[in-house]
Amino acid sequence: MFQKQERIGLVVYLYYNRDARKLSKFGDLYYHSKRSRYLIIYINKNDLDTKLEEMRRLKCVKDIRPSAFDDIDRQFVGNLHRDETNNHQKGYQPPSY
């Protein structure tokens, strides 16, 4: 049966756009910004450490930043209510216009 793989997105900054094809072997190339010279690549989470080391060794890679999507609070129901109660507890006064 099909098992869902945990994936993570990486933002890879390049020195030159021509090197984007070299990085397509590491994972699924999702987006390539030619103007800003970066790629978004998705790889399996269990291969993260080995792939990062291999990519950092390449001379064409300027910087690699992993996605912070897992760290973001995605529970949107009740966010406004939680913010109101936290602000009132801290003594926050909304600005009067």
Question: Is 38 within the bounds of a domain?
Answer: yes
Number of neighbouring beta carbons within 10 Å of residue 42:
15
**Does the residue 94 lie in any domain?**
no
Tell me, yes or no, whether 90 lies in a domain.
no
Residue 45: inside a domain, yes or no?
yes
Residue 12 lies in a domain: yes
Assigned domain for 21 exists: yes
Q: Given pLDDT bands bounded at 50, 70 and 90, which one contains residue 20?
A: very high
Query: Which CATH number does the domain housing residue 29 bear?
Result: 3.30.70.920
pLDDT of 63 higher than 70: yes
Domain count, the chain: 1
% of the chain at pLDDT higher than 90: 61
In a domain, 2, yes or no: no
pTM: 0.71
The residues, ordered by sequence, that sit 6+ positions from 11 with a Cβ below 8 Å of its Cβ are 38, 39, 40, 64, 65, 66, 67
Q: With respect to residue 28, please indicate whether it lies within any of the assigned structural domains.
A: yes
Residue-range definition of the domain harbouring residue 26: 7-65
- The confidence band for 69, taking pLDDT boundaries of 50, 70 and 90, is confident
pLDDT at 68: 85
